[in-house]
Amino acid sequence: MRPTPSFRLGFSALTRRMSATASTTREDLPPSSIPIFTAVHEYRAWRQKAFDEKRSVGFVATMGALHDGHLSLVKRSLEANDLTVLSIFVNPAQFAPHEDLATYPRTLPHDLAMLSSVSHSVPVSNTDLPSALRTPSALFLPSVKEMYPSGISQDISNQTGTFVEVKGYGEQMEGKSRPTFFRGVATVPTNAYFGQKDIQQAILLRRLVTDLHMSQPSPSHLHIVPTARDPRTGLALSSRNTYLTLAEREKAQSFYAALKEGAKAWDAGESKAECVRRAVDVLVDAGARPQMSEADSEARGKEVGDDGEGEPEVIIKVDYIGLNDASSFAMLSDGETRLSWGGGPVILNGAIWIGRTRLIDNLVLGDARQVLME
């Protein structure tokens, strides 16, 4: 049965009242049925009114270029909260000087259309109406100047202002290949829904709110939702997938297959080194050059892929494949096995380049419920 439209208005009335302060100064914004806040003080006023009325607020942080993976997070928030806010902010602090800040996809009209299409029906008590419809309540769309009033440089040596770094956590996994990335992430902690693909961000933020004794959000309010994948290939959904050609997209499916092969080896009692080797072998079979050295797979920067006549076809580079403790991100020793390991869940994770596109993915091995906390 379709939700009753009149009761849907009841849920949106608070948003309408609180959106009176929504930005009207940005003439470049496309039309939207969802209130858009471009200033921090506007959003804070909106949020305070929600809290004053004892409405729970779910938050989904994104960099835009929305896809079904983002929408799955929005739906999860709609299910659990009275109000749901999504942010779109391409954060320069999360990009090194050589990374794709300038070319990162920015698709605001498309994003607004996708966001407007999401809803969740909830039962209603003490009324004759069968259900009510929750829809996204607001979009937070700040500029770089708004978030960094003093400016921000992609060169970390030139950055000024206050940043928070979580030592011992940001240097592992993705932090090893992208040493400045988590400095930007930790600067904007929030009560949020994360996709498992970005598991290191979420666990790092849980650590941050614990260490800083924040009363809100608590670590249990930072939810990690299983990665949304292409139903045919298993490729993790990502905004950067739009960079891939059709041929590259076909090759990219070997990444998920590689992680599954590594997970199978771990479950069978093989060592960490064998687990990583099996995963790499799948990538090698797909055209990647085998890794050259270092226990946690070092094939960084090695171009591969050839059509037999010396012309590159689809180039695959393995950045890293690793197996890390899910609570500390510490790398497991080569000889560690599932039977000898007593530290709880581990994360089989990696990054590869397909052509000019860098992809990340991971699988949680062991009791994923200890990590995901959906």
What percentage of residues in the chain have a pLDDT greater than 90?
Answer: 42
| Contact between residue 81 and residue 57 where contact means Cβ atoms under 8 Å apart | yes
Identify the pLDDT of residue 351.
94
| Contact between residue 155 and residue 183 where contact means Cβ atoms under 8 Å apart | no
Each domain of the chain, given as residue ranges in start order, spans 5-161, 239-372
CATH topology of domain 5-161: Rossmann fold (3.40.50)
What's the average model confidence in pLDDT over 306-327? 77
Residue 120 one-letter amino acid? H
Using the predicted structure, report yes or no on whether residue 78 has a pLDDT greater than 70.
yes
What's the average model confidence in pLDDT over 274-300? 72
Using the predicted structure, report yes or no on whether residue 196 has a pLDDT greater than 80.
yes
CATH for 239-372, options being 3.60.21.10, 3.30.1300.10, 3.40.50.10190, 3.40.430.10: 3.30.1300.10
User: Using one digit for the tens of pLDDT, what is the confidence trace for 109-132?
Assistant: 999 999 999 999 988 776 666 678
Of 57-66, 166-175, 228-237, 300-309, the range with the highest mean pLDDT is 228-237
Sign of CA dihedral 146, 192, 354, 108: negative
Catalytic residue among 41, 67, 70, 213: 70
Judge whether 5-161 and 239-372 match in fold: no
pTM of the model: 0.75
| Contact between residue 279 and residue 321 where contact means Cβ atoms under 8 Å apart | yes
Identify the pLDDT of residue 247.
93
Q: What's the pLDDT band for 276 if we cut at 50, 70, 90? A: very high
What's the average model confidence in pLDDT over 330-354? 94
| Contact between residue 182 and residue 200 where contact means Cβ atoms under 8 Å apart | yes
Q: Taking all residues of the chain, what is their mean pLDDT, rounded to a whole number?
A: 79
Identify the pLDDT of residue 171.
55
User: Using one digit for the tens of pLDDT, what is the confidence trace for 300-313?
Assistant: 434 444 444 444 57
Q: What's the pLDDT band for 202 if we cut at 50, 70, 90? A: confident
Cβ neighbours, 10 Å, residue 218: 12
Nearest to 10 by CA among 132, 131, 130: 132
Q: What's the pLDDT band for 159 if we cut at 50, 70, 90? A: low
Phi/psi class of residue 294: alpha, beta or left (left: φ > 0; alpha: ψ in -120 to 50)? left
Active site residue 70: yes
